[in-house]
Chain A
């Protein structure tokens, strides 16, 4: 289970929050104010280790089983998630930060719910779709055989009885440079040539598309429940039952907040307090009925932070 509280003090020194809530739309801008130093990394590390702990255990268990007939049980010199390529670290970083921000800044979020992330799902490995079904190693291949990934991130709010009263789910994206064109591609999908006009236009399959079409009960909720069943069936008995009812459509569905989190280094000519997604009202492209919470985190030298952080997770282990 993920139990480590967010390092509030370190966050306060590192980021400057600017939050607004307009009806069911929340917008939170977090701008880096302090520098990234060893103290910050040391303060973040326990939270990241706690977030990764469950996945790490199971990853290690899996790779620890050798199927070679002579396998003598030598432990592999592999440490998760350190062993992953740096691109993967950026994806993971976004997801952990989504949880961190959701837990640490819940007062600033639309609705003011008490969000918690009992276990982190790391479902960033969408390349598994690419390889699992085709069994061909061809990184350039883009067509997917079965495609439906669900949301990157999921958190819950429990009521007094411990039942899941509300779910927050959505997309968390790291980009090295958060320029307007990069953000547009993320939100509206990559550009493709329009067959009629020959112009390059966004294909419409970006974050808004995914968020708008997600099912009433986010797919990840079922996976979260499965982990709770394994990890803490008694402590979360009511949460587990309430997820059953949600999946079955029995009784009212838990409330839903969609989260869109963009994190990266600010564009070169960015002005302070300028937003990538308008804060005044929810973007027109967002058509779902649920609350929407947008978070923009603007860093300086964020790549260094990620590399340093992931190089030192479980360094002492």
Chain B
């Protein structure tokens, strides 16, 4: 180290501390940002002078210099350099977005984008540059490069070469230099160093872009050498800013070379060289999706993937976790030696069915060539298309925990034999909240964290060799324990980078009658934007019309006034191209009704600027609208709002409609969305702005007879706020989350004033509480709550408190006491203390019994106490609980003793244990279910005329099935204890008829729609579906030879002894139809609505009559025949592609290299094929058909054999 380097570092460090501490803004920086926001929102800005701008620019330059020192001494990975680059990017971005006059003197956008790239925030670079339009071709080209838009670089370079064909000859560069010396006879100025330099820069960037995309390292090195030489020359001969931008581009180019996806893929390819060409194709494909340059978090993840197998990756949403998961799939499924006839299998566990769809779509589009991707989120346990079961290709199953659990019971042995990789998405969900609600959820058997813990631990204990990867978006918190869990090592640490990939602003929308809306800005990335009590608050005073006065009855509800004010504001902001989510804490149907009624008023006419889309998006909108009409009805709030550009979503909405709504939001067709929090669980959607109308949920506890108020937790709020502001998604770079707070009461009558004042004060207090807790930084936690520990502690506390079990007697008591002994009401959903304790014990039994049965099945030996104890001790070590907290030894003892008790005392009959295991219900509930199961099976067996039965008869079957379960509060129907829901339970058969689409059955009023949907989701789809599923699974297991028998449609009827309705029943409940053919069409995407699917029935019937002389009832619903029919439908011919090879005449090359990368440039009557550095190599005539966006494709000029030809090597998806 040169002798003064330490002093240089100290000097730079002083600047970093002064200006660039992560998550700290100086006052001047906060002002710069506020002014930027105000200017972006086109509202009056704070006082600002040129001097302020000059100071910020000077600070940015100092930071760049400090970054240079850190980088040159500490290396490119210097964290301190990264801090400086990030803040430089921010300052310059804020000046740029405030339309500062400095922009005309200094290329601030280019410098900002470069600084963001070097600071490891590529999304910010592209977010900023996507908003800035320059009139200058050079600035555009460099912008494209700095945002890693290599297609854009090549498009711009091609335009340049088209404009200057003289510069494309082989000797053009030399001629240009020679021409500089010559004095032109007419006195015109000749080319200059500046021009020659610019031309060479275009050559270098074009070549770099092409080589990066193609993974051509040889010429990439030449291009980098050239860019480096240009940089060195610029430092000597050009002005400060010009040379600075070139130096930044060079450094960014260096970072691209280091971060190209080809690097890790080549390393992976070494595992199995014969497949490396597929990996290279994958890399090229990633470049065309804008993901060829890896983010820091991805590089870390891939490094781990290369070095070892299992790990936890912890990075924020939107930082590309999916890519790491994809490569893990490639590594484990494609690059391993084949081990058997059937392909390897990966389980990809997602937290919701909505997310399963998203992940399936992504994986299919990227890996569908090589891997079968199946999202099992339908009703049936293994789907209509069973090819994955017998596939020789590798398979990825994307499943929720519940579905994975069902699969394990049904196909566990087959699954485990093929399983190679387990991916757990949003793995932090294994950490429960340590509160009363969680304890209640154990008794309710609705806790997801314990289900996830149980499933993953069982898999790990059976197959310790299965590779595990946990993905989590939550920084700090659970990452450490999750890493220890998936890696199975006490000192495991998560891979990850702690940074926010988006910028989040939190504030308040102040609402008041007869006043324009005002936004109070409060926090940016958790940092206060002004000091409360010391500085003036920071406002955006919206320049929108005042909301018309509401009718008295409406404004007498402060909540309604507040919500409508939010809608009013949202409608105006949507006009300015902002994407708005109105997040509703509860009862979305009430908000939807308020919105509909407001939009029907004459004084609200004209505020809706929405027009349904034209072009390719029209079909999307029409499809969603048709589904909305189908499932919600013509009078529904949902349809009314959709027609006005307002999408809706809540947890009870039918899955298909939810997915279509998400699509409308994702494609930015609907500018406004009204939704509950379920919309954003794990799903990334492009919102600029999120409004919250309340920070708590209220419910009524009928047992305690009191209102229960649950405030929104900071975790929930953070998750929601994290969804705002996907960089580059829309107008702003930041996501803004605003809590709507009335600053005045809305009623004008005297009666409700006191109430409204109190409500107003409460809302303000809620916000203050939230704000205060958000400012407290999230911390890494070493010890976190864990499901099993919470459950065991809960059981112990209640046993001690309610039953007086003494500490030293607890383990004996636990081993010997059945839930039904604790409470006669066990398994009936009763809410008294002992019943809830019994249900909590039943929850523990469910986990233990399942584990023991699976152990018994693997070992194929009778379970004894000793074996149970030994195996449960092994299992314990694979639980999350074992690594999450400092071990309390009694927890493990209690776990093992209860397991031994199940074998010896509580469920000693092995056959019964097997049956209970197969049902998948908590054992107390399962025991009661046995009798019902027999009757369900009888009903199904008898329903062999279902195919030809009329709708009423068909629905009668489901009513009979429902009757069997409706009365039991364990496995049967359950509703919340509200008058509305109790009333729905009374008339559940009406709901069934409506849901199953029985002709002439009336549906709910728009007001009641959501309650009906809730009943459908909770009871018909879920509880009745589970009951039928359990019976069908048992029928299969009884008939199958052994646990390794592969299910197949061909053998299904014979094995189960059931008619086809047994196969379809759950699927029908899921799609809301009585006709299996309709369910089939919807599932296979052959129709968009139930009506349209029903209309295709005729096509199928006609085909069936051609195929068979006298089809029987069973033929009409035979899934094998459905599939054969589907295969018989002629497919639409794909658009004719361009000719694959074109004969070419060489012009600027000898052809000695054999093959050349080329880009097309139109020229007169033909196409010139240029090297990416801008040298013409060949021409083809007539003009080549290369499509509308040829710069996205790769072309190659082949000169090696015979006549030269040009061919397309890569076409973007």
Contact A85 B177 (CB under 8 A): no
With A70-B1149, A134-B138, A135-B138 known as contacts, the answer to whether A65 contacts B222 (CB < 8 A) is yes
Residues in chain A near residue B813, CB distance under 8 A: none
Of A78, A150, A250, which is within 8 A of B177 by CB? A78
Residues in chain B near residue A247, CB distance under 8 A: 61-62, 65
Contact B242 A129 (CB under 8 A): yes
Residues in chain B near residue A229, CB distance under 8 A: 72
**With an 8 A cutoff between CB atoms, is A76 at the interface?**
yes
CA distance A238 to B1156 in the complex (A): 50
Contact A248 B15 (CB under 8 A): yes
CA distance A211 to B139 in the complex (A): 29
Query: How far is the CB of A313 from the nearest CB of chain B, in Å?
Result: 14
**With an 8 A cutoff between CB atoms, is A86 at the interface?**
yes
Residues in chain B near residue A70, CB distance under 8 A: 170, 1149-1150, 1152-1153
Of A124, A222, A245, which is within 8 A of B240 by CB? A222
Which of B104-112, B353-361, B618-626, B785-793 has 4 or more CB atoms under 8 Å from chain A?
A: B104-112
Contact A233 B192 (CB under 8 A): no
Residues in chain A near residue B193, CB distance under 8 A: 84, 88, 125, 127-128
- Residues 26-71 (chain A) with a chain B CB within 8 angstroms: 54-55, 58-59, 61-70
CA distance A69 to B219 in the complex (A): 8
**With an 8 A cutoff between CB atoms, is B733 at the interface?**
no
Contact A62 B232 (CB under 8 A): yes
Query: How far is the CB of A246 from the nearest CB of chain B, in Å?
Result: 10
Contact B11 A131 (CB under 8 A): no
With A67-B223, A127-B195, A248-B15 known as contacts, the answer to whether A146 contacts B4 (CB < 8 A) is no
Contact B2 A234 (CB under 8 A): yes
Most buried by A among B181, B190, B1171: B181
With A68-B1171, A69-B1171 known as contacts, the answer to whether A58 contacts B236 (CB < 8 A) is yes
Residues in chain B near residue A238, CB distance under 8 A: 4
**With an 8 A cutoff between CB atoms, is B136 at the interface?**
yes
Query: How far is the CB of B117 from the nearest CB of chain A, in Å?
Result: 19
Residue of B nearest to A215 (CB): B58
With A58-B232, A62-B232, A69-B1171 known as contacts, the answer to whether A139 contacts B188 (CB < 8 A) is yes
**With an 8 A cutoff between CB atoms, is B31 at the interface?**
no
Query: How far is the CB of A77 from the nearest CB of chain B, in Å?
Result: 8
Residues in chain B near residue A62, CB distance under 8 A: 200, 226, 229-230, 232-233
Residue of B nearest to A84 (CB): B180
- Residues 136-177 (chain A) with a chain B CB within 8 angstroms: 136-137, 139, 145-150
**With an 8 A cutoff between CB atoms, is A263 at the interface?**
no
Residues in chain A near residue B190, CB distance under 8 A: 85
Query: How far is the CB of B405 from the nearest CB of chain A, in Å?
Result: 58
Contact B173 A66 (CB under 8 A): yes
Of B11, B188, B200, which is within 8 A of A244 by CB? B11
Residues in chain A near residue B272, CB distance under 8 A: none
**With an 8 A cutoff between CB atoms, is A237 at the interface?**
yes
**With an 8 A cutoff between CB atoms, is B198 at the interface?**
yes
**With an 8 A cutoff between CB atoms, is B909 at the interface?**
no
Residues in chain A near residue B1174, CB distance under 8 A: 67
With A129-B242, A223-B235 known as contacts, the answer to whether A85 contacts B4 (CB < 8 A) is no
Most buried by A among B230, B243, B1153: B243
**With an 8 A cutoff between CB atoms, is A209 at the interface?**
no
Residues in chain B near residue A66, CB distance under 8 A: 173
**With an 8 A cutoff between CB atoms, is B3 at the interface?**
yes
Of B66, B136, B240, which is within 8 A of A145 by CB? B136
**With an 8 A cutoff between CB atoms, is B183 at the interface?**
yes
Contact A78 B174 (CB under 8 A): yes
**With an 8 A cutoff between CB atoms, is B1175 at the interface?**
yes
Contact B240 A137 (CB under 8 A): no
**With an 8 A cutoff between CB atoms, is B574 at the interface?**
no
Contact B137 A135 (CB under 8 A): yes
**With an 8 A cutoff between CB atoms, is A226 at the interface?**
yes
Contact B241 A146 (CB under 8 A): yes
CA distance A35 to B1204 in the complex (A): 65
**With an 8 A cutoff between CB atoms, is A2 at the interface?**
no
Residues in chain B near residue A234, CB distance under 8 A: 2-3
Contact A54 B236 (CB under 8 A): yes
Which of B202-210, B734-742, B880-888 has 4 or more CB atoms under 8 Å from chain A?
A: B202-210
**With an 8 A cutoff between CB atoms, is A126 at the interface?**
yes
**With an 8 A cutoff between CB atoms, is B7 at the interface?**
yes
- Residues 217-238 (chain A) with a chain B CB within 8 angstroms: 219-220, 222-223, 226-227, 229-230, 233-234, 237-238
Query: How far is the CB of A19 from the nearest CB of chain B, in Å?
Result: 31
CA distance A220 to B1175 in the complex (A): 36
**With an 8 A cutoff between CB atoms, is A132 at the interface?**
yes
Residues in chain A near residue B14, CB distance under 8 A: 248, 250
Query: How far is the CB of A116 from the nearest CB of chain B, in Å?
Result: 18
Contact A65 B226 (CB under 8 A): yes
Contact A137 B191 (CB under 8 A): yes
Residue of A nearest to B234 (CB): A128
Most buried by A among B65, B173, B190, B238: B238
Residues in chain A near residue B195, CB distance under 8 A: 127, 131, 137
**With an 8 A cutoff between CB atoms, is A240 at the interface?**
yes
Contact B233 A244 (CB under 8 A): no
CA distance A135 to B157 in the complex (A): 10
Contact A68 B177 (CB under 8 A): no
CA distance A127 to B229 in the complex (A): 19
Residue of B nearest to A133 (CB): B138
Residues in chain A near residue B105, CB distance under 8 A: 146-148
Query: How far is the CB of A217 from the nearest CB of chain B, in Å?
Result: 10
Most buried by B among A54, A77, A136, A238: A136
Residues in chain B near residue A69, CB distance under 8 A: 219, 1149, 1153, 1156-1157, 1171, 1173, 1175, 1177
Residues in chain A near residue B1148, CB distance under 8 A: 68
CA distance A135 to B156 in the complex (A): 11
With A128-B238, A133-B138, A134-B138 known as contacts, the answer to whether A241 contacts B8 (CB < 8 A) is yes
Contact B183 A134 (CB under 8 A): no
**With an 8 A cutoff between CB atoms, is A130 at the interface?**
yes
Contact A65 B229 (CB under 8 A): yes
Contact A248 B65 (CB under 8 A): yes
Query: How far is the CB of B180 from the nearest CB of chain A, in Å?
Result: 6
**With an 8 A cutoff between CB atoms, is A121 at the interface?**
yes
Contact B235 A226 (CB under 8 A): yes
**With an 8 A cutoff between CB atoms, is B647 at the interface?**
no
**With an 8 A cutoff between CB atoms, is A249 at the interface?**
yes
Residues in chain A near residue B72, CB distance under 8 A: 229
Residues in chain B near residue A288, CB distance under 8 A: none
- Residues 142-186 (chain B) with a chain A CB within 8 angstroms: 160, 164, 170, 173-174, 177-178, 180-181, 183
Residues in chain A near residue B241, CB distance under 8 A: 146, 148
Residues in chain B near residue A124, CB distance under 8 A: 237
CA distance A40 to B592 in the complex (A): 92
**With an 8 A cutoff between CB atoms, is B818 at the interface?**
no
CA distance A124 to B194 in the complex (A): 10
With A135-B160, A147-B105 known as contacts, the answer to whether A67 contacts B240 (CB < 8 A) is no
Contact A248 B11 (CB under 8 A): yes
- Residues 813-862 (chain B) with a chain A CB within 8 angstroms: none
Residues in chain B near residue A131, CB distance under 8 A: 138, 192, 194-195, 197-198
Query: How far is the CB of B54 from the nearest CB of chain A, in Å?
Result: 9
Query: How far is the CB of B154 from the nearest CB of chain A, in Å?
Result: 14
Please name 29 pairs of A and B residues whose Cβ atoms are closer than 8 Å in the assembled complex, sorted by A: A55-B236, A65-B222, A65-B225, A67-B223, A69-B1157, A69-B1177, A70-B170, A70-B1152, A76-B177, A77-B174, A83-B181, A123-B237, A125-B192, A125-B238, A126-B239, A128-B197, A131-B198, A132-B201, A132-B242, A134-B136, A135-B141, A136-B137, A148-B105, A234-B2, A237-B4, A244-B69, A245-B11, A247-B65, A249-B62
Task: Given contact pairs A136-B137, A244-B11, enumerate 13 new A-B contacts (beta carbons under 8 Å).
Answer: A62-B233, A64-B229, A65-B229, A77-B178, A83-B180, A131-B194, A132-B194, A132-B198, A133-B107, A145-B139, A146-B106, A222-B65, A222-B240
The 9 A-B pairs of least Cβ separation, nearest first, read A128-B194, A67-B1173, A62-B229, A127-B194, A139-B189, A219-B240, A135-B138, A237-B4, A135-B137
